[in-house]
Structure 1
């Protein structure tokens, strides 16, 4: 995509500048270069699924992040940070819509709410991935939104394991410089996360640490 192509199609959606998915889809279908098709499709997945901001649009900031993938920059901290930010916002206001990768949040549910269905678990290794496991589970289309709401609203403390059993950390990054917290880079801002607060609560009731950003 050239700068001219982007400038001609970019739109303002709220506080963000975005490219409509329909324009990216047309580019995928019409572009003669197969590699370029795959690149634009991958960008669309990142913008629509992993880092959603406006329905049916890819945020301009996602394109900048996507360009850094060639430098082997991992997106894991950014995904986690966006998830923390959105969940904290919903908790703080008591309402709102989760803006993040719902599929990865579902994988987190599966890792931490295992006691609800009494399913077994395995330690993470090179030959085992929780994400691959959850993808292999047959999808249940017979569970309505109301049923999911009832399940989540009636969860008890003993139903939740706050530290996923497959995590066997050798080293834990808990501070940055002179600060006893770790800055997590979002696409748009920075969020401070305090791992030590979580570690101290592995055997007690969990709460979301105070963040700044």
Structure 2
């Protein structure tokens, strides 16, 4: 079977279904039987955004040929500059995030953002989608940024700033560079770096955290950015679960009652091809972002790929989540890198959004004791932390 993923194994759906069902039964779920799940009454969600006006102006002033060249090299990341954020929906949806199963739980519905969906949105052509970003002991951000911009490391040093515990490059410094080199290849490259740092991986307002330089350098050398973007999504959602803020009552009430028949499961622009479902020996996919790692189980949401949903294998799913700098993090990074050298994909079979009887029983048992946010907890402002 010819494929653009030469290092992947391809598993038949029947064999995967049988293996997962037997393993889930023998090894157990990722949580103990007496686990009590409670979705939070309040969460903290910081919705501050960088000002994208200058980036949008630069993009709009480029001609069609320049924009097409940018899209070809870096994917459709510039489109993210004009995406409107629905604050009320985001405030509501984060309360339904289950950090143990790495999914949203809306009544009878589990939903998860996936690598394949992010890849389809960004649209980057990759010879090997299994080539991922991974962080070494030293990122060498000074030298890498100097090479990208054609300046000296000393000039980079002059513009480094310390913001709390983060070493950053100010947006104003890079903006001046882009304006000066707007119609050159280097100007486009720094523009792409800006979008990754200010839009996709924001950490300090008005600045790019230096870890993004190392990440971006690997992306332009054909690393797949989608797993890292997904890692950032998951780790941010897990963090939001631990803080406070109010949400929008109408969205909360709507999502509480969401039924499967109300969901359009498969995005029409998603191609029907084998889906990555595990790496190495674990039954899930490890994700490595610029600041940490986490795992997710895409097999939990096969309906989002237009396939029948069966009981997923979630054994040990919650054992992988760490931030860079923690004890033994370099060893864990190496283990993830090795796991991605042995990926497994499963064929999709026929188009359907049906579920097996076993899955329905498993899902109902899993969420029957989930406690949703109280109505009275949704009222009254709470000042978030900075």
Question: Shared topology, TM-score over 0.5?
Answer: yes
Is the aligned partner of 1:88 residue 2:238? yes
What is aligned with 2:218?
68
Give secondary structure in 1 for the equivalent of 2:294.
strand
SS at match of 1:81: helix
Q: Which residue is 1:134 aligned to?
A: none
Tell whether 2:277 aligns with 1:170.
Answer: no
Equivalent of residue 25 in structure 1, options 175, 179, 183: 175
Aligned partner of 2:248 among 124, 149, 158: 149
Cross-structure match for 1:161: 263
Structure 2: state its 5+ residue gaps: 1-148, 311-316, 322-386
Inter-CA distance 85–30: structure 2 relative to 1 (3 Å threshold): same
Q: Is residue 2:204 matched to residue 1:54?
A: yes
Secondary structure of the residue aligned to 2:248 is helix
- TM score, norm. by length of structure 2: 0.36
Q: How many residues align?
A: 159
C-alpha distance 32-80 of structure 1, shift in aligned 2 (>3 A): closer
What's the TM-score once normalised by structure 1's chain length? 0.62
Tell me: CA distance 1:151–1:74, structure 2 relative to 1, closer, same or farther (3 Å): farther
Distance (whole Å) between structure 2 residues aligned to residue 196 and residue 42 of structure 1: 32
Larger radius of gyration: 2
| Corresponding position: 1:212 with 2:361 | no
* Deviation sequence 1:92-123 (CA, Å, 0-9, x none): x1437xxxxxxxxxxxxxxxxxxxxxxxxxxx
Partner of 1:157, secondary structure, is: coil
- State the secondary structure of the residue aligned to 2:202: coil
> How far has the Cα of 1:200 moved from its partner?
9.3
Distance change (3 Å), C-alpha of 1:24 and 1:158: same
In the superposition, relative to structure 1, how do residues 55 and 194 fare at CA in structure 2: closer, same or farther (>3 Å)? same
* CA–CA separation in structure 1 for the residues paired with 2:320 and 2:259: 30
Distance verdict in 2 for CA 1:33–1:169, change over 3 Å: closer
- From 187, 195, 204, the equivalent of 2:290 is 187
CA contact (8 A) 2:285 2:296 kept: yes
- From the superposition, tell whether residues 9 and 158 of structure 1 become closer, same or farther in structure 2 (CA, over 3 Å): same
The answer to whether the Cα contact below 8 Å between 2:279 and 2:285 also exists between their aligned partners in 1 is yes
Q: Secondary structure at the match of 1:191?
A: strand
Q: For residues 94 and 197 of structure 1, what CA distance do their matches in structure 2 show?
A: 26
User: Among 30, 38, 62, which residue is 2:188 paired with?
Assistant: 38
**Unaligned runs of at least 5 residues, structure 1:** 97-145
Residues 95, 211 of structure 1: CA spacing in aligned structure 2 closer, same or farther, 3 A cutoff? farther
Q: Which has the higher contact order (CA 8 A, sep 6+)?
A: 2
- 8 Å contact 1:193–1:211 — kept in the other structure? no
